[in-house]
Amino acid sequence: MNSKIEAALNEQIKKEEFSSRLYLSMAIWAEINGFPGAANFLYKHTEEERMHQMKFVHYVNERGGRAALMDVEKPQDKFDSLKDVFKQIFDHEVYITGSINELFGLANDEKDYTTANFLQWFITEQLEEENLMRTILDKINLVGSDKAGMFHIDKELDILAASQGSSQQ
């Protein structure tokens, strides 16, 4: 595997690891701030990011490269509200989509079509993740500060977490 591609994939391993830690930090916040459904959803999402990280790890190694772990910064652990949490998740997923797109562009520039093909799964996944987070954020914006509305959203997130659990790879 081309060393440029290997280095870029290893950077992505770090980003997926950070995503997992960021969502874990958010899950902890949600759990101790009275949002058990959101906490379940975020704990599940932490595992999903770990699964993304592992996909990259195995891919780099299978292609004859070496997956490398790097220092990962401590994620934020204070949030203003559940809305703040989901706004930050949405922004973070947009950032990750940009990163995957750059990787895809690099793979094509380097004529590494096997890596470009591998990245297709992530391109589809990012579209789904952005849509999911946008939908949740829209609902939170809609209820505003209405407590009953927030309670309902938390219940919905709990149901979503249960369905994610059964569909996880």
For tokens 């790879």, the residue is 169
Cα gap 36→57, rounded to integer Å = 32
The CB-nearest residue to ligand FEO is: 52
The answer to whether residue 112 forms part of the interface with ligand FEO (CB under 6 A) is no
Chain residues 28-57 in contact with ligand FEO, contact rule CB under 6 A: 49, 52
The answer to whether residue 16 forms part of the interface with ligand FEO (CB under 6 A) is yes
Q: Are 4 and 124 in contact (CB under 8 A)?
A: no
Cα gap 101→54, rounded to integer Å = 19
Q: Which of 96, 119, 137, 153 binds ligand FEO (CB under 6 A)?
A: 96
Q: How far is CA 126 from the centre of its chain?
A: 8
The answer to whether residue 17 forms part of the interface with ligand FEO (CB under 6 A) is no
Task: Closer to ligand FEO by CB, 29 or 150: give it.
Answer: 29
Q: CB within 8 A of 44, min separation 6: which ones?
A: 161, 164, 165, 168
Chain residues 53-92 in contact with ligand FEO, contact rule CB under 6 A: none
Number of residues that bind ligand FEO (CB under 6 A): 7
And the tokens for 123? 């391109």
Q: Which residues of the shown chain bind ligand FEO in the complex (CB under 6 A)?
A: 16, 19, 49, 52, 93, 96, 129
